[in-house]
């Protein structure tokens, strides 16, 4: 269990970087950012997986291919499209407040797993996480963002945010069950295969958008900005996508779903830290209180899942 928590925190540290890309590349559309990141993820996964290609293809079944396609669409492509649509209509603060409920929804979806403790034992840790998430967003929500979108657009934005929340919650539980059901791929191999499928899908979506003449992909910018675009997406592809999903897969293989859901909190925490560094400021009193609540909730959830089990030594395959 200790290894599972450790890998979960590393996944959160990797995924927290994703929140910086819109700030660094504000002149690119969300569709381009998503396609760029996942297309680069596919290229990196293909390059890393080439020496393993023969073995991967030999083990790959039709059921695996269908599962990987389903996971790539729900956890990557569709999720980020919904997320971008929500942010454009209702703003970052309200969207992040909805998405921040992931630790609760994943825990609820995994409550019937064989290795899950009684849900009442997790009531107070879950409540601490929920209050921490609310506190993180409270200042932005109360301060206002100067948005003046019509009511129908804001309602659409909230619907998109809820759909994005449902999408990634379903992905997390489906991915965890797939990993525990099949044993012929280790965590790194599963991440590489996910990257290849996601990259192929992202490339097809970008090509289709170009053929349809969508303005979201027809952006004229200096060559320096496109260099920055690919550099940022290269970092995200290696760290946030490949390593992030490898660590997440290793974590979910070692933890019950009710506990792996709490590991998503580390994404929020690291995103906050990176944001403070980027903005060159310290957390406010309310933000500091929220961080303590999130950490306390996760620690309490770990404790209530019982004593850590004896685990095998760490190996480089993250199986």
How much is the pLDDT for 94? 67
Q: CB–CB of 298/265 below 8 Å?
A: yes
Averaged pLDDT, groups of 10, the chain, 319 residues long:
82 84 80 90 91 87 92 88 76 69 76 63 76 70 56 80 88 85 83 92 94 86 92 91 86 75 76 80 79 76 55 40
CA distance 134 to 222: 40
Which domain range does residue 298 map to? 1-306
Q: Are the C-beta atoms of 157 and 86 separated by less than 8 Å?
A: yes
pLDDT of res. 234: 93
Q: Which tokens belong to 237?
A: 């592809």
Provide the pLDDT for residue 308.
43
Q: Residue 158: how many CB atoms within 10 A of its CB?
A: 17
Helices assigned H by DSSP within the chain? 2-15, 21-24, 30-49, 53-59, 62-72, 79-90, 92-99, 102-109, 123-143, 151-181, 187-212, 223-235, 244-254, 257-260, 265-279, 285-304
- Examine residue 200 and state whether it is found in any structural domain, yes or no: yes
- Please give the Cα distance from 250 to 189 (Å, whole number): 11
Question: Residue 114 phi/psi, 5° resolution?
Answer: -65, -35
113, with CB counted inside 10 A (0-12, 13-18, 19+), is middle
Cα torsion 268, 217, 168, 270 to 10°: value is -10
pLDDT at 137: 64
**Backbone φ and ψ of 190, nearest 5°:** -65, -40
| Cα Rg of the chain (Å, integer) | 19
Nearest to 74 by CA among 172, 156, 157, 188: 172
Residue 24 in domain: yes
Q: Would 317 be classed as within a structural domain?
A: no
Phi-psi group of 299: left, alpha or beta (phi > 0 → left; psi -120 to 50 → alpha; rest → beta) = alpha
170 in any annotated domain = yes
Dist. CA 87–CA 56, nearest whole Å: 38
Please indicate, yes or no, if residue 318 is contained in any of the structural domains: no
Q: Which residues contact residue 37 at a Cβ distance below 8 angstroms, ignoring those fewer than 6 apart?
A: 18, 21, 202, 233, 236, 237, 240, 241
pLDDT given at position 199:
94
Overall pTM surpassing 0.85 (yes/no) = no
Angle at 46 between CA 17 and CA 232, to 5 degrees: 25
Would you state the pLDDT for residue 108? 77
* pLDDT at site 317: 43
Structural domain count, the chain: 1
pLDDT for res 88? 73
Query: Does a structural domain hold residue 7?
Result: yes
How many C-alpha atoms does 314 have within 13 Å on its Cβ side? 11
Q: What is the pLDDT of residue 311?
A: 40
């Amino acid at each position: 269990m200790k290894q599972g928590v450790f890998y979960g925190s590393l996944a959160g540290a990797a995924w927290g970087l994703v929140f910086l890309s819109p700030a660094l590349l504000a002149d690119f559309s969300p569709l381009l950012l998503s396609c760029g990141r996942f297309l680069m993820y596919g290229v990196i996964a293909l390059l890393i997986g080439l020496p393993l290609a023969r073995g991967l293809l030999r083990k790959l079944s039709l059921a695996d291919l269908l599962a990987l396609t389903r996971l790539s669409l729900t956890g990557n492509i569709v999720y980020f499209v919904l997320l971008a649509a929500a942010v454009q209509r209702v703003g970052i603060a309200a969207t992040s407040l909805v998405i921040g409920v992931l630790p609760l929804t994943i825990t609820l979806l995994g409550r019937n797993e064989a290795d899950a403790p009684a849900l009442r034992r997790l009531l107070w840790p879950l409540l601490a996480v929920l209050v921490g998430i609310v506190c993180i967003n409270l200042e932005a929500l109360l301060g206002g963002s100067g948005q003046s979108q019509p009511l129908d657009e804001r309602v659409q934005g909230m619907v998109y945010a809820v759909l994005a929340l449902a999408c990634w919650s379903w992905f997390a539980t489906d991915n965890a069950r797939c990993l525990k059901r099949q044993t012929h791929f280790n965590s790194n191999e599963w991440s590489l295969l996910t990257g290849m499928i996601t990259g192929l899908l992202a490339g097809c979506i970008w090509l289709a958008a170009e053929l349809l003449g969508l303005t979201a992909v027809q952006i004229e910018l200096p060559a320096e900005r496109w260099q920055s675009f690919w550099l940022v997406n290269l970092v995200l592809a290696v760290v946030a996508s490949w390593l992030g999903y490898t660590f997440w897969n290793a974590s979910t293989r070692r933890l019950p779903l009710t506990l792996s859901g709490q590991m998503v909190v580390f994404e929020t925490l690291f995103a906050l830290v990176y944001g403070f560094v980027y903005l060159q400021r310290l957390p406010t009193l309310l933000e500091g209180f929220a961080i303590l609540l999130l950490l306390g909730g996760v620690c309490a959830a770990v404790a209530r899942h019982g004593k850590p089990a004896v685990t095998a030594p760490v190996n480089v395959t993250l199986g």
